[in-house]
Chains A and B, each alone.
Chain A
Amino acid sequence: MKAIIIGAGEVGFHIAKLLILQGNDVVLIDESEEACHRVDEQLDLLSLRGSGSSPYLLKASGIDEADILIAVTNKDEINILACQIAARYNVEIKVARVSNPDYFSSESGLTPQDFEIDLLVNPEELCVAEFLRLLKMPEAREIAEFEDGDVQLVSFRVKKSNPFIGKSLEELGENGLLTDIRFAAISRRTTQRISSRNIIIPKGKDVLQQGDDVFVIGSRIAVEQLFRMSGILFTQRLERVIIVGGSTIGVQLARELEENATDVKLIEADPIKAELASQHLRRTTVLHGNYLQFRLLEEAGVIDVNGFVAVTGDDENDIMACMTAKENGAQRALALIQQPRYLPLLTGIPRLDGVVSRHLSVVSNILRLIRRGHIVSVASLREIEAEVIEIVAGVNAKIVHKTLVSFKTKFPPDAFIGAVIRRSKLIIPNGQTVLQPADRVIVFCMPDAIPIIEDLFAKRRS
C-alpha cells in the first residue's frame, strides 16, 4: 500500500513510522526543510519539501498510485484542499485534520463528504472526549473502548491499600475474580530512573506489586467488579471540576461538563482570553489570574474538587499546575501533553493521575480508519509503546479452526489475544479456545507485530 502524508509534525511522523513498520510505502510532504531532514534521518521514506496543496508536488509524490492521503498540517485549508486534489486521482482513503469547528458545524450546512474527506480529525474534539472519559472513571489512567464500550481496556495503578498486592494472578483466578477479564500487561518500575519501566506480559505466577500500572481487558461489568474488589472507585458522579486554560479544548471541555457536573470553573491567565471564554460559557465560572498561585486555586475551590484538568497548551505549566492542585487536595489531576517526548517520563510523576496526548489521540483515530479492512479499531497506548487492535478473523484464515495452543510458535512473542467477542458474547480465551470466522478478537501487541497478526487473521481462499 502506498500512503502520502502531508505535514511532518509529531502526528505525521508517528503515523509514517507505524505505516512503514507495517510494510507500506510512504511519501511525506512538508514545507520545512528541517522537518524533512529529520524524517530523512530517521525513517525509511521519501520526503518532499513544499506545500501539501500544490498539485505539482502531489503529482511528483506519485499520488496517482497512492491508496491513502493523510493531511495533518496545522493549516485546515491546506488539508481540505489536499483531500480534494487526491479525490481527482482516485485516492481511496483521504484523511484531513481540521481544527476549526466552523467548517462542518451543523449551521454551516457542509459535510466532510462535500470536500471528499473520508475521515475528519479534530484534535481538540478528540482530546475533550478523552478527558471526559478519564474524568468519569476516576482511577483509570488510560481507557480504550471496543464494541461501543462493552469491552474496555483500562489501566490503573496498584496503590498501597490495594488488597491484591502480593497475590499472584493464579490466586486471583481461584477467587473467581478473573472471569471475563484478563491481565494484558503490567508496567513495572525497575530502577531509580523514573522513566525506565519494564513491560511484563503477565502469566499465572506473576505477583502484583505496589506501584504497578496494570492493563486489563474485559467486559465493562467485569472491569467494574475488579475495581470494586480492589477498592478502586469505578465511576463517579462529577460534582466539581476546575479547568485551567481557556483555549479551544478548555472551553469545549467546560461546555461538555456543564451538562454532567454541578459546578465547573475555568481559570485563564490572559484577561482577553478569559473574557472570550466567558462569552462562550453559561454555567461555568471563569476566573482570570495566575493559575500557579495557590491563592487563586483556593479561590476556585481546589480543596476536594473531583477533577482538575490543565489544558493551557504549555506542558511544563500544566504539570506544575496539576502538582499544585493535587498537593492542595484535588482528588484527580489530569494534564494535556503536547510533547510526545515527555510521555514516557510522566508515569514517574505520582501526582499526575492521567494525561491526554494531543498527537496520540489523533494518531489512534487515523490509524483506526486506515488499518486494512478487517481491523476494526485500534488504540495506541500512551504509557507503553503498545497497541490494542480489534481484528476480525477472516474465512479460512490461518488462525481459525485450531486451538490457540497450536499457534504458540507462529504467534509473535510480543503479542497476545486478550479477548474474543463471538456473536456479541465475550470470551476470555485460553489455550484450548478455537477461533471461528467472524470472531472479533482484541489483540494486545507491539507495533511491529501487527503485519504478522494481520496475516494470521486475513481471509484466504480454501
Chain B
Amino acid sequence: MSRRLIFFTLGNLLICLAGSMLLPIGVALYYHVGNGEAQTDLSPFVISAVIPLIVGLVLRFGIRRRNEELGIRESFAVVTLGWITLALFGAFPYMLADVFEAEGRSSWTEFSFCYFESMSGFSTTGATVLTQIENLSHAILFWRSFSHWLGGMGIVVFAVAILPMLGVGGMQLFRAEAPGPQTDRLTPRITQTAKLLWGVYVLVSIAETVCLMLSGMSFFDALCHTFGTMATGGFSTKNLSIAHYDSVYIDLVTCFFMFIAGTNFALHFSFFRGDFTAYFRDTEFRFYCTVILISIVVISWNTVQFQNHEGQIPYDSMWPSLRHTTFQVLSIITTTGYGTADFEKWPALSQFLLVTLMFYGGCAGSTSGGMKQIRFLLLIKQSGAEIKRLIFPHAVLPIRVNEKVVPSEVMTNILGFFFFFIGIFAIVTCIMATLGMDIVSAAGCTIATMGNIGPGLGTVGPTDNYAHIHTAGKFILSFCMLLGRLELYTVLILFSPNFWRK
C-alpha cells in the first residue's frame, strides 16, 4: 500500500478535472461576454478550475514517485477517493455561484445541497435538489450536464486514456471504475481500450446532438440533453425535463439514445469496426431487449386497462400509452431518469414493475447504473442450475454466457454483490425512514440513488425533487450514488481493516 502513489495519481486526476473546467468557462465567456447575459458570472468557474489545478500540480510534482506500479489495492483507493474529491471540487461552481443560497440556510446546509448536486451529476444519477432549473445561468446548467457526461464513461477511464504513465496501474484503475462483473478488453493496451471507448462515446454523442437539433432544439439544449442521455444521467435544462418539448420526435430520439447508452459499449465498438451482428450474438444484449419489450407490453396494457389508486385509467388509448410507457421504461431501465409522464399516477402493477427495473439497470460496460442485466441473467441461470442439481445431484452444471463458461469465482462475486446491494438498500432505507421520510419515499430515494436513476417514488417521485431531504440524508444518499456508480466493491473494500494493513 503506497500512499504516496495514491496521492500522486489523485493529483493527475485533479489536473484532468481542472482541464475539463475549461469548457464551462468557455460557455460562461460566450454567454457573459458574447451575449451580455448578466447572471452568468465567470469567476466561480475560474476559481473552481484554479483550485483543483493547484492541488493537482502540488500532488503531481510535489510527491517524489519511487519506481512502483499501482497495485490492485492502490487502484481501489485511488478510484474511490478520486470520485469523492471530484464531486467535492465539482461542487465549487454551485457554491461560488450561490446556486443554493437561501434565507436562513447555513453554509453547511448549502454545502450539502451543492455536494449532492455535484455527486448526482458525476455519478450520472440525475437526482436534483433544485426547485427552479430554468432561471439558472447557462454556465451552471452546462456544468450540471457536463459533469454527467464526464462521469458517464468515467473520468478515471478518461485519465487512463490520456495519461500514458499508468501502464499496468491503468488497467487496475480501469477495472475498478468500469461497470460489470468482468471487464472487456478491446485491445492489448488498456490505454488504447480506454481511448476507443471514449471515442465511441464522443461519436454517438455527436450523433444525438445533431438528431436533437434537427427537431429545432437549440444547440445548447441539445448538447445538455445529449450529455444527460449518453451518460444515462438525467439532468435537463427544463423544469419539466423532456416533457417540456412534448414532441414525439424528441421522445423517440431520446429513447433510442438511452437504449444505446444502456448497451455495452464494447458492442458498439464491434459495430463500428464492421461487425454488424455483434449485438445479436451477445446474450446479455438479447436479455436486455427481452426485459425491455416485456416491460413495455405489460405496462402499456396495464395503463390502458386498469385503474390507478385514484380510480382513474391513465390513458384512454393505446398510442399515447405506448409512447409514454416506452419512454419511462427505457428511462428507468437505463437509469437515465428523464421523464415525460408521472408514473406515480399509473396503476400499482406498472409502478412495481418500474421499481423492479430500477434494480436491473442496463448492460455491463454501459454508462448506466443499477445491478446490470448480466448479473440478473447469471443469477437466473444459477438458480435454474440449482433446481437441476436437486434432480441430478451428480450433474456438472456450468453457467454459460456467449458460449463461454463463467468461472465460479465470478458467480460467487455476483452472489455477494446481490447480497450487498439488497443489504445496503435495506439499511439505507431504515436510515432515511429514521430521518423522517415515509416508507415508500425512503425506499424510493434509496434505490433511485443507489441505482443512479434519479426520480424515485413518493416525495422524491418524477415530479418532485430532493431538496426537502435532511442534510445528513443528502450526504448518505450522495454516498449511495458513489456506491452505485462504482458498483459497491470498489468502495466497500476501503472499509475493510485488512485493506489498510501493510
Q: Footprint of B on A, CB under 8 Å?
A: 2, 20, 25-27, 33, 41-46
Given contacts A25-B192, A33-B407, contact A42 B187 (CB under 8 A): no
The reply to whether A42 and B168 contact each other, CB–CB distance below 8 Å, is yes
The reply to whether B188 and A2 contact each other, CB–CB distance below 8 Å, is yes
Given contacts A42-B168, A44-B170, contact A26 B188 (CB under 8 A): yes
Question: Within the complex, which residue of B72, B167, B188, B192 is in contact with A27, where a contact is CB–CB below 8 Å?
Answer: B188
Most buried by B among A27, A42, A45: A45
Question: Within the complex, which residue of A20, A33, A46 is in contact with B185, where a contact is CB–CB below 8 Å?
Answer: A46
Across the interface, which residues of A come within 8 angstroms of B190, CB to CB? Answer: 44
Give, as a whole number of angstroms, the nearest-CB distance from B269 to chain A.
14
Interface size class of B (residues with CB under 8 A): 10 to 19
Across the interface, which residues of B come within 8 angstroms of A2, CB to CB? Answer: 188
> Please, could you name 6 A-B residue pairs with CB atoms under 8 Å apart, sorted by A?
A25-B192, A26-B188, A27-B188, A43-B168, A44-B168, A46-B188
CA distance A381 to B55 in the complex (A): 42
Question: Within the complex, which residue of B72, B171, B407 is in contact with A44, where a contact is CB–CB below 8 Å?
Answer: B171
CA distance A41 to B190 in the complex (A): 12
Across the interface, which residues of B come within 8 angstroms of A20, CB to CB? Answer: 167
CA distance A41 to B72 in the complex (A): 8
Give, as a whole number of angstroms, the nearest-CB distance from A419 to chain B.
27
Given contacts A25-B192, A33-B407, contact A44 B187 (CB under 8 A): no
Of residues 163 through 192 on chain B, the ones whose CB sits less than 8 Å from some CB of chain A are: 167-168, 170-171, 185, 187-190, 192
Across the interface, which residues of A come within 8 angstroms of B167, CB to CB? Answer: 20, 44
Mask, B189-220, CB within 8 Å of A = 1, is 11010000000000000000000000000000
Minimum-distance CB pairs A-B, first 8: A25-B188, A46-B188, A44-B168, A46-B185, A45-B188, A44-B171, A26-B188, A27-B188
Residue in chain A with minimal CB distance to B171: A44
Across the interface, which residues of A come within 8 angstroms of B185, CB to CB? Answer: 46
Mask, B136-157, CB within 8 Å of A = 1, is 0000000000000000000000
CA distance A44 to B190 in the complex (A): 7
The reply to whether A25 and B187 contact each other, CB–CB distance below 8 Å, is yes
The reply to whether A25 and B168 contact each other, CB–CB distance below 8 Å, is no
The reply to whether A25 and B407 contact each other, CB–CB distance below 8 Å, is no
Give, as a whole number of angstroms, the nearest-CB distance from B404 to chain A.
9
The majority secondary structure among interface residues of chain A is: mixed
Across the interface, which residues of A come within 8 angstroms of B188, CB to CB? Answer: 2, 25-27, 44-46
Q: What 6 additional pairs, Cβ within 8 angstroms, besides A25-B187, A44-B167?
A: A2-B188, A27-B188, A44-B170, A44-B189, A45-B189, A46-B188
Give, as a whole number of angstroms, the nearest-CB distance from A158 to chain B.
28
CA distance A23 to B3 in the complex (A): 27
Across the interface, which residues of B come within 8 angstroms of A45, CB to CB? Answer: 188-189
CA distance A44 to B170 in the complex (A): 8
Across the interface, which residues of A come within 8 angstroms of B72, CB to CB? Answer: 41
Give, as a whole number of angstroms, the nearest-CB distance from A409 to chain B.
19
Give, as a whole number of angstroms, the nearest-CB distance from A103 to chain B.
31
CA distance A326 to B190 in the complex (A): 50
CA distance A2 to B167 in the complex (A): 16
CA distance A354 to B399 in the complex (A): 51
Residue in chain A with minimal CB distance to B169: A44
Give, as a whole number of angstroms, the nearest-CB distance from B396 to chain A.
16
Give, as a whole number of angstroms, the nearest-CB distance from B193 to chain A.
9
CA distance A41 to B171 in the complex (A): 9
CA distance A43 to B407 in the complex (A): 21
Across the interface, which residues of A come within 8 angstroms of B170, CB to CB? Answer: 44
The reply to whether A46 and B168 contact each other, CB–CB distance below 8 Å, is no
Of residues 382 through 420 on chain B, the ones whose CB sits less than 8 Å from some CB of chain A are: 407
Residue in chain A with minimal CB distance to B186: A46
Across the interface, which residues of B come within 8 angstroms of A27, CB to CB? Answer: 188
Give, as a whole number of angstroms, the nearest-CB distance from A27 to chain B.
5
CA distance A72 to B171 in the complex (A): 25
The reply to whether B407 and A46 contact each other, CB–CB distance below 8 Å, is no
Across the interface, which residues of A come within 8 angstroms of B187, CB to CB? Answer: 25, 46
Residue in chain A with minimal CB distance to B164: A23
Across the interface, which residues of A come within 8 angstroms of B171, CB to CB? Answer: 44
Residue in chain A with minimal CB distance to B192: A25
Across the interface, which residues of B come within 8 angstroms of A25, CB to CB? Answer: 187-189, 192
CA distance A25 to B170 in the complex (A): 15
CA distance A43 to B185 in the complex (A): 13
CA distance A45 to B189 in the complex (A): 6
Mask, B63-95, CB within 8 Å of A = 1, is 000000000100000000000000000000000
Across the interface, which residues of A come within 8 angstroms of B407, CB to CB? Answer: 33
Give, as a whole number of angstroms, the nearest-CB distance from A220 to chain B.
35
Across the interface, which residues of B come within 8 angstroms of A26, CB to CB? Answer: 188
Residue in chain B with minimal CB distance to A49: B404
Give, as a whole number of angstroms, the nearest-CB distance from B134 to chain A.
47
Give, as a whole number of angstroms, the nearest-CB distance from A414 to chain B.
9
Across the interface, which residues of B come within 8 angstroms of A43, CB to CB? Answer: 168
CA distance A46 to B190 in the complex (A): 9
Residue in chain B with minimal CB distance to A33: B407
CA distance A45 to B192 in the complex (A): 11
Give, as a whole number of angstroms, the nearest-CB distance from A309 to chain B.
36
Across the interface, which residues of B come within 8 angstroms of A46, CB to CB? Answer: 185, 187-188
CA distance A50 to B8 in the complex (A): 39
Residue in chain B with minimal CB distance to A46: B188
Mask, B411-447, CB within 8 Å of A = 1, is 0000000000000000000000000000000000000
Give, as a whole number of angstroms, the nearest-CB distance from A85 to chain B.
19
CA distance A26 to B192 in the complex (A): 12
Across the interface, which residues of B come within 8 angstroms of A41, CB to CB? Answer: 72
CA distance A45 to B187 in the complex (A): 8
Residue in chain A with minimal CB distance to B72: A41
Give, as a whole number of angstroms, the nearest-CB distance from A40 to chain B.
8
CA distance A27 to B187 in the complex (A): 9
Give, as a whole number of angstroms, the nearest-CB distance from B266 to chain A.
13
CA distance A42 to B171 in the complex (A): 9
CA distance A249 to B168 in the complex (A): 37
Across the interface, which residues of B come within 8 angstroms of A42, CB to CB? Answer: 168
CA distance A27 to B189 in the complex (A): 9
CA distance A42 to B190 in the complex (A): 13
Most buried by B among A2, A33, A44: A44
